[in-house]
Amino acid sequence: MSDITRIDTGKRMSQAVIHNGTIYLAGQVGDPGQSVAEQTKTILGRIEALLEQAGSDKTRILQATIWLADMADFAEMNAVWDAWVAPGHAPTRAAGESKLATPDYKVEIIIVAAT
């Protein structure tokens, strides 16, 4: 059996789980009251911090799943995302519209990365 490492584990979930050289991040959200662009920037900062704790970085991201509360915000989110992704290291990605945990959240991003 291979080891499983959990980071920032709470009662309901861990913020990151590492298994067999793969890092799985919980869905990250921004702060209530922020714009779509601000929430996206906040989320990406949280992703970078979690990847660093896991011994990785954004160049090692394999897959991103992005949920928007409203697909009308796709271009605003993409402007931030495109500026953040390391050149030559774009992961596979899917984006869709979904009701998020509360109406205060406009964006949620889920990441899978290599260690």
Q: What is the pLDDT of residue 91?
A: 98
Q: Residue 81 pLDDT more than 90? A: yes
What range does the domain containing 19 cover? Answer: 4-114
> For the chain, how many structural domains are there in total?
1
Residue with tokens 């291979």: 2
- Domain of 45, CATH number, reads 3.30.1330.40
- One-letter amino acid for residue 68 of the chain: L
pTM of the model: 0.96
Write the pLDDT tens digit of every residue in 94-107.
999 999 999 999 99
Q: What gap in Å lies between CA 37 and CA 55, rounded to an integer?
A: 27
**Residue 8 binned pLDDT confidence (cut-offs 50, 70, 90):** very high
Q: Residue 2 pLDDT more than 90? A: no
The angle that helices 74-84 and 36-53 make with each other, rounded to 10 degrees, is 40
Write the pLDDT tens digit of every residue in 35-73.
999 999 999 999 999 999 999 999 999 999 999 999 999
